[in-house]
Amino acid sequence: MSSAAVPQSPNPILPDPDTLAPDQLRDALRDAHRLLAERQRHLDLIEQLAGIGSWEIDLDRDAIRWSRELKRMHGFDDASAPTRHSTFMTSVLHPDDVGIVNEGMAALTADHPVTVEFRGLRTDGEARLFHARGLLVPNTDGRLTRVLGTSLDITERRQTVEALRGSEESYRTIFQHASDAMWVHDLETGDFLAVNQAAVDMYGFSAEEQMQRGVSGMSAGIAPYRVEDAVKYIQGAAAGVPQRFEWLGKHKDGRLIWGEVRLRRVTLSGVDRILATARDINDRVAAEIALRQANEALEQRVTERTAQLEQAVAEQAAAREALAESEEHFRRLIENSQDYIMLVDTNAAITSVSSSVERMLGYTPAEMHGWRPVDLLHPDDIPHVIDVFNTLMQSPGTTVKLRYRSRHKNGGWRLLESVGRTISPVSAAEGVVANCRDITDFVEAEQALRERDERFRQIIEGAADLVFICDATGAITYAAPSSMQVLGFTPDEMLGARPADLLHPDDVEHTMADLQWLAEHPGTVITTTFRIRRKDGAYVVMENVGRTLSPHSVTEGVIAFGRDITGRRAAEEALARAKEEAERANRAKSEFLSRMSHELRTPMNSILGFAQLLARGEVTAQQGKSVQHILKAGRHLLHLINEVLEIARIEAGREQFSLEPVALSSALEETLGLVRPLAQQHGVTLHGGPWPGDGFVYADRQRLVQVLLNLLSNAIKYNQPGGTVHLHAALSADGTCAIRVVDTGRGVPTNRLEELFTPFARLGAEQSDVEGTGLGLALSRRLCEAMGGELSLESTSEQGSVFRVVLDAVDSPLRVYESGASIPAVAAAYREATLLYIEDNLANLSLVETILMARPGWRVLPALQGLLGVELAREHRPDVILLDLHLPDMSGDEVLRRLRNDARTSDVPIVVVSADATPSSVERLRVLGANAYVTKPLDVDEFLRVVDRFVPVRRGAS
Q: Would you state the pLDDT for residue 599?
A: 59
**For 548-571, how does the pLDDT look when each residue is reduced to its tens digit (9 = 90+)?**
888 888 888 888 888 888 888 888
Residue 422 lies in a domain: yes
Confidence of residue 882 (pLDDT cuts 50, 70, 90): very high
Cβ-Cβ contacts under 8 Å for 483 (sequence gap 6 or more): 466, 468, 489, 490, 491, 494
Whether 443 is covered by a domain: the verdict is no
The C-alpha atoms of residue 668 and residue 646 are separated, in whole angstroms, by 23
Q: Are residues 544 and 620 in the same domain?
A: no
pTM given for the model: 0.34
- 471-492 pLDDT, tens digit each: 988 899 888 888 888 888 998 8
pLDDT over threshold 60, residue 657: yes
Measured distance CA(898)–CA(867) in Å, rounded? 9
Cβ-proximal residues to 444 (8 Å cutoff; 6+ apart), any chain: 179
In a domain, 34, yes or no: no
The percentage of the chain sitting over the pLDDT mark of 70, rounded to a whole number, equals: 81
| Domain boundary residue, one of 153, 184, 209 | 153
The total domain count for the chain is 8
Residue that terminates a domain, selected from 336, 362, 380:
336
Query: Does 72 share its domain with 132?
Result: yes
Over 60: is that where the pLDDT of 6 sits? no
Contacts of 602 (CB under 8 A, 6+ apart): none
CA-closest candidate to residue 662, choices 869, 914, 840: 840
Both 526 and 391 in one domain: the answer is no
87 lies in the same domain as 202: no
Same domain, 896 and 855: yes
Output the domain CATH number for residue 922.
Answer: 3.40.50.2300
The one-letter code for the residue type at 378 is H
121 and 182 housed in the same domain: no
Query: Is 8 within a domain?
Result: no
Within a domain: residue 958?
A: no
Residue 659 contacts residue 702 (beta carbons within 8 Å): no
Above 80 in pLDDT, residue 194?
yes
Q: Which amino acid is at 547?
A: R
Minimal CA–CA distance to 777: which of 720, 727, 687, 717?
717
* Distance of alpha carbon 734 from alpha carbon 806, whole angstroms: 11
- Whether 829 and 946 map to the same domain: the answer is yes
Residue 189: is its pLDDT beyond 80?
yes
Q: In what order do the strands lie in the sheet with 932-935?
A: 858-863, 833-838, 880-883, 910-914, 932-935
Residues 404 and 499 placed together within one structural domain of the fold? no
pLDDT over 70 (residue 334): no
Backbone angles phi, psi at 722, to 5 degrees: 80, 5
Clarify whether residues 216 and 122 are in a common domain. no
Residue at which a domain ends, from 594, 627, 651: 651
Which residue, among 432, 382, 562, 591, has the nearest Cα to 485 in the 3D structure?
Answer: 562
1 located within any domain = no
Domain hosting residue 535, numbered range: 462-564
User: What CATH number did the domain enclosing 471 receive?
Assistant: 3.30.450.20
Q: CA-CA distance, 614 to 606, in Å (whole number)?
A: 12
- Are 763 and 639 in a shared domain? no
Handedness of CA 5, 10, 14, 16 (dihedral sign): negative
Q: What is the pLDDT of residues 849-864, one digit of tens each?
A: 877 877 777 888 888 8
Contact criterion met (CB below 8 Å) for 913 and 934: yes
CB-CB contact of 179 with 444 (8 Å): yes
Residue 457 falls within a domain, yes or no?
no
Spatial CB neighbours of 928, under 8 Å, sequence gap ≥ 6: 893, 896, 897, 900
Share of the chain above pLDDT 90, in %: 12
- Check whether residue 804 and residue 681 sit in a common domain: yes
Q: Are residues 700 and 738 in the same domain?
A: yes
Query: In the prediction, which pLDDT does 803 show?
Result: 92
User: 144-156: per-residue pLDDT in tens?
Assistant: 889 999 998 888 8
Q: With b meaning 16 or more CB within 10 Å and e meaning fewer, what string describes 715-740?
A: bbbbbeeebbbbbebebeeeebbbbb
Residue 245 lies in a domain: yes
